[in-house]
Structure 1
Amino acid sequence: MLSDYASGNWSVTELCRRYGIGRDTFYEWRRRRDSGVGDWFVDRSHAPLQCPHRTDPARVESIVALRRRFPHLGPRKLLAILERRHPEQAWPAASTIGDLLKQAGLIAPVRRRRRPLDQQRPFTAVHVANDEWAIDFKGWFRTGDGTRVDPLTLTDSASRYLLGVQIVPMTIDGTRQALTAVFQRHGLPLAIRSDNGAPFGSNGAGGLTRLSAWWLKLGIVPHFVHPASPQENGRHERMHRTLKRQTSRPPAATAAEQQARFDAFRAHYNDERPHEAIGQVPPADLYTASTRRMPDRLEDPWYDADHEIRRIRSSGEIIWHKQPVFISLALVGELVGIAELETGDHIVRFCDYDIGLIDRLRVFRRFGPPRENAYRPPDPEPSQKLSTIIPVQSVDYHPG
């Protein structure tokens, strides 16, 4: 272009049109050539000479240092911590923090997964702390010395506060001992959400075990999810993913060291880590202990005057109209109330929890655990008439 201009055959306007550039670009290239610099023709950086919105090095250093301290926290949680500690400073957006961490080599590229379509989940409405807790055993694994560990986890559904992470035997007695310590420290919730597996649920009357029957005597309602539906306890399962990534990859050498990791994670999760579902504040800012304290002694359930009272024997049976009727082994030694219905059947209750029905043939029909959005079979359609002229009479069949 400059050689064509030196020949004198074309004007600057014609050359700019021919090479598809602006006049300012032409004069800039001519100025570089006339400067006498040997590499004047090499393309230079296109970055602006000045950027008033560029993050200053001091803030970049603070962001990088915080990421190195908390390597499991992403840009949004780091931004929440920085704004919490230094509200007087103007921090960059979370996307900018992500770019700075990439430049520092602190974010490894991951394969983006296509998000599934969202669906309505039957979560119980929770408004304040201790309305509902969630409990589960995170999948077992072995430590470096081969010891099997079963971590029992407990969270508050409203504040996401991690109430406990404890290695205990996956039994009713082991779980009850761990829950007793949590109840004495934080008080009693109104309800506990769990799956249907042992030691929380069973296939017996009302889905109860000795553990969930103990909850009812404490005034805690068990909330059972549908079988094979962990998404109905999604708040708790999401915490499990974070717990696994930060404490068991790889596992500790011994069970004691693994428990120390769980304790450190619980303190970090509650007091330092911002939680996106509650406005990027730590759960400890929202959680308060329950005012319902654990009683020193459990009394027998109380029933209305229209109930007949029976105590369940060691065989799981009661005596009803001089005949043994099996109820549940989970309620051995407990009092149940039996009230007559208009149909002539008798409803069997433990505390305020309906566990089954004794029909007129004195057969106990157990109830499954109550669940939200449970399937109800449709009402049978009326029999269609075979003729529009002569109506067909239906006859009920009675044996004998």
Structure 2
Amino acid sequence: MSVVEQRYHAVIEVLSGAKVTDVAGRYGVSRQSVHAWVRRYQDGGLAGLADRSHAPKAHPMQTSAAIEALICELRRAHPRWGPRTFLWELGRRGVEPLPSRASIYRALVRNGLVEPVARRRRREDYRRWERPGPMQLWQMDIMGGLLLADGSEAKLITGVDDHSRFCVIASVVARPTGRMVCAAFAEAMRGYGVPLEVLTDNGKQFTGRFGGPKAGEVLFERVCRENGIKLRHTAPRTPTTTGKIERFHQTVRREWLDAALPFASIEAAQAETDAFVEHYNTARPHQALDMAFPADRFFAERGDGQRRAERELPLHLPASLIPVTSPPSPAPGAAPAPATSLIPTGNHGDQGERPALVLRTSVDPLSRQAIEVDRIVPASGNLSIGGQQLWLGPDRAGLAITVWISTQRLHVFTAGGGRLKSVASRLTVKDLAALLASGQARPAADEHVPEPPIEASAVEVDRQVSSIGTISLAGRALCIGAHLAGRRVIVRLDGITARAMDEQRLLLRAVPCPLALAECLTLRNARPAGAPPTSPSEPVTVQRVVCSRGHFQVVGQKIQVGRVHARKILDVTVDDTHITVHDNGEPIRVVPRTTTQEITRIKSQAHTKRRKTG
């Protein structure tokens, strides 16, 4: 019998005169249940014995529809926010009554804005460790993922205060060498003071203990030792030890880099990094700090006495890391300014203002002065000036030249003012003084190097391809392909792309240009560029799928478009010189073409898979 039938028989027995206690015992229920069945049968008949909902008729603590709509609106506007951040934002907006964090989570699940997951361990079960005050420990690391418009990847040197999570270092560099890491570290110490300890991983920029038996102290270790900073390192393969800086990297990627387009330059990336760090420190609530701002905790707990002691504590840095600024030019007849030391001006302030630094030194005039030497190129094409060899080639034998020399650069000019060559100078101040004293040289007209005679957006040079497929540009070997070995080519340079072409100006190969345009103008035998190279091929439009890391491959070239376009199918127009990426007909990126591979696939792999499975 069904449950309703059993209840009906029990009711019939009670109505027939049986005792309620006996009926309840036979059916295994309480007396109250039997009385309830009888009442429900008398009120509604057989239908009254069916199961009823136990849900309450009223929900006095239920979240109102207006508050739930506001939560959904905030979630759509900020997909990375969670229930804790929503609770803080609702409280800041004065919402009453304020829902609980669990209510916010259930509202998001009901509206399909989050995927329900299995409950993890409570936060109270984890043991959090941190220093009791700011400036006691900094965590430092290096992260990648800053994509540039030229296809390269920049690095970000980061550092956070262990107690307050305040970001003290965020420096964008092309290569995170040990010197660049120390420069960023020194700049942070000038602005915020010297920490007691620094925690890093075992990267070669931070320690030399894994560099072999002959490895000594690296520059970062020297800076810490000379400033009384205790340097700590994690155990190998334990990234959780530096968990705070790793968590900061996750925030940078999720809230900024994943949706950022490739940056135009290092300077543009640094400007956007500074803006994000300012928002992170002063306007973004931190869950680990009970929704407080890192800047509030960093500066509020540093008393005036502590800040004064940090200002008075001298900072010891190697000479290569000390900022040097040129002193103002003295008035005519005035005595030169005496040598002084590094002078901090201003104060730190409660908001972390960085002091202005002024460094005044007495400089030997010859270190800022250039000289000129007139020479005749010998038959061998190789001449010596002050002990430095200068090769000009036998084809210039007998040519009258003027050599402009400083302690930094050496430039060779013809009698008409055209530049022939520029190299690094190996002459010291003492060598310049000896040349002046011997009468072989004269002081230069001014300290500035004359501008090259070429004023163009691109230049061309003639080069002979070596047996291994390379050409030489300003002492650098540029590979343009072994299939061109032994050929004489014309190379067109615009600071972005180097295009090799034959005498008929037919494009042979295109590769990234290793020199900036200003350096291209100083190349040997450089001349203003003529018409761009030609090719019989026509532009071709193909389709490509962007991978989860925000790039795709076309004609053997990797194109970065950002993670914001991940999993999209984009239209790509490929011509002889450029690659144009379109999204729904709108161009989103144009990059120079650096390969000569032919297009072998028009449709994307996604279309191929759909056709096979369909």
Common fold by TM > 0.5: yes
Question: Where do residues 323-362 of structure 1 align in structure 2 (5 Å cutoff)?
Answer: none
Equivalent residue for 2:466? Answer: none
Equivalent residue for 2:236? Answer: 227
Answer with 1 or 2: which has the greater Rg: 2
Aligned partner (choices 248, 261, 284) of residue 252 of structure 1: 261
Q: CA deviation at 1:295?
A: 4.9
Equivalent residue for 2:63? Answer: 55
Aligned partner (choices 276, 282, 297) of residue 293 of structure 2: 282
Looking at structure 2, the residues matched to 247 and 201 of structure 1 have their Cα atoms a distance apart, in angstroms, of: 30
Equivalent residue for 1:161? Answer: 166
Q: Secondary structure at the match of 2:135?
A: coil
Equivalent residue for 1:271? Answer: 282
Q: Deviations over 1:143-189 (max 9, x none)?
A: 57522121111100011112233321311232233334323332322
Aligned partner (choices 195, 208, 213) of residue 222 of structure 2: 213
Looking at structure 1, the residues matched to 147 and 38 of structure 2 have their Cα atoms a distance apart, in angstroms, of: 71
C-alpha distance 279-114 of structure 1, shift in aligned 2 (>3 A): closer
C-alpha distance 255-287 of structure 1, shift in aligned 2 (>3 A): farther
Equivalent residue for 2:155? Answer: 150
Report the more deviating stretch, 24-33 or 244-253. Answer: 24-33
Q: Deviations over 1:63-88 (max 9, x none)?
A: 334434433232123323434553x8
Q: Secondary structure at the match of 1:72?
A: coil
Equivalent residue for 1:196? Answer: 202
Structure 1 residue identity aligned to 2:292: V
Aligned residues: 291
Aligned partner (choices 87, 100, 103) of residue 93 of structure 1: 100
Q: Secondary structure at the match of 1:99?
A: helix
Equivalent residue for 2:142? Answer: 137
Q: Secondary structure at the match of 2:199?
A: strand
Question: Where do residues 51-130 of structure 1 align in structure 2 (5 Å cutoff)?
Answer: 51-84=59-92, 86=94, 89-110=96-117, 126-130=131-135
- Identity rate of aligned residues, in percent? 30
Looking at structure 2, the residues matched to 83 and 131 of structure 1 have their Cα atoms a distance apart, in angstroms, of: 33
C-alpha distance 228-24 of structure 1, shift in aligned 2 (>3 A): same
CA RMSD in angstroms, aligned pairs only: 4.4
Q: CA deviation at 1:133?
A: 0.8
Looking at structure 1, the residues matched to 48 and 40 of structure 2 have their Cα atoms a distance apart, in angstroms, of: 11
Looking at structure 2, the residues matched to 262 and 45 of structure 1 have their Cα atoms a distance apart, in angstroms, of: 57
Contact (CA 8 Å) 1:251, 1:258: kept in 2 or not?
no
Looking at structure 2, the residues matched to 266 and 42 of structure 1 have their Cα atoms a distance apart, in angstroms, of: 63
Structure 2 residue identity aligned to 1:48: P
Report the more deviating stretch, 213-222 or 92-101. Answer: 213-222
Structure 2 residue identity aligned to 1:159: S
Contact (CA 8 Å) 1:247, 1:261: kept in 2 or not?
no
Q: CA deviation at 1:243?
A: 2.5
Contact (CA 8 Å) 1:196, 1:224: kept in 2 or not?
yes
Structure 1 residue identity aligned to 2:112: G
Looking at structure 1, the residues matched to 199 and 127 of structure 2 have their Cα atoms a distance apart, in angstroms, of: 18
Structure 1 residue identity aligned to 2:158: T
Choose between structure 1 and 2: higher strand proportion: 2
Looking at structure 1, the residues matched to 88 and 126 of structure 2 have their Cα atoms a distance apart, in angstroms, of: 29
Looking at structure 1, the residues matched to 275 and 242 of structure 2 have their Cα atoms a distance apart, in angstroms, of: 24
Q: Deviations over 1:310-356 (max 9, x none)?
A: xxxxxxxxxxxxxxxxxxxxxxxxxxxxxxxxxxxxxxxxxxxxxxx
Q: Secondary structure at the match of 2:236?
A: coil
Q: CA deviation at 1:136?
A: 0.3
- Stretches of structure 1 lacking an aligned partner (at least 5 in a row): 301-400
C-alpha distance 29-219 of structure 1, shift in aligned 2 (>3 A): farther
Looking at structure 2, the residues matched to 261 and 110 of structure 1 have their Cα atoms a distance apart, in angstroms, of: 35
Structure 1 residue identity aligned to 2:55: A
Equivalent residue for 2:449? Answer: none
Looking at structure 1, the residues matched to 279 and 49 of structure 2 have their Cα atoms a distance apart, in angstroms, of: 56
Structure 2 residue identity aligned to 1:166: S
Structure 2 residue identity aligned to 1:63: I
What is the TM-score with the length of structure 2 in the denominator?
Answer: 0.39
Contact (CA 8 Å) 2:144, 2:153: kept in 1 or not?
no
Q: CA deviation at 1:92?
A: 2.3
Q: CA deviation at 1:22?
A: 5.6
Aligned partner (choices 224, 246, 249) of residue 237 of structure 1: 246
Contact (CA 8 Å) 1:143, 1:251: kept in 2 or not?
no
- Stretches of structure 2 lacking an aligned partner (at least 5 in a row): 320-614
Q: CA deviation at 1:259?
A: 5.0
Looking at structure 1, the residues matched to 34 and 261 of structure 2 have their Cα atoms a distance apart, in angstroms, of: 65
Q: Secondary structure at the match of 1:138?
A: strand
Equivalent residue for 1:176? Answer: 182
Higher normalized contact order (CA 8 Å, seq sep 6+, divided by chain length): 1
Q: CA deviation at 1:90?
A: 4.1
Looking at structure 2, the residues matched to 167 and 29 of structure 1 have their Cα atoms a distance apart, in angstroms, of: 79
Structure 1 residue identity aligned to 2:132: H
Q: CA deviation at 1:251?
A: 5.4
Q: CA deviation at 1:264?
A: 4.8
C-alpha distance 89-9 of structure 1, shift in aligned 2 (>3 A): closer
Structure 1 residue identity aligned to 2:162: S
Contact (CA 8 Å) 1:212, 1:222: kept in 2 or not?
yes
What is the TM-score with the length of structure 1 in the denominator?
Answer: 0.57
Q: Secondary structure at the match of 2:86?
A: helix
Structure 1 residue identity aligned to 2:238: S
Q: Secondary structure at the match of 2:170?
A: strand
Equivalent residue for 1:319? Answer: none
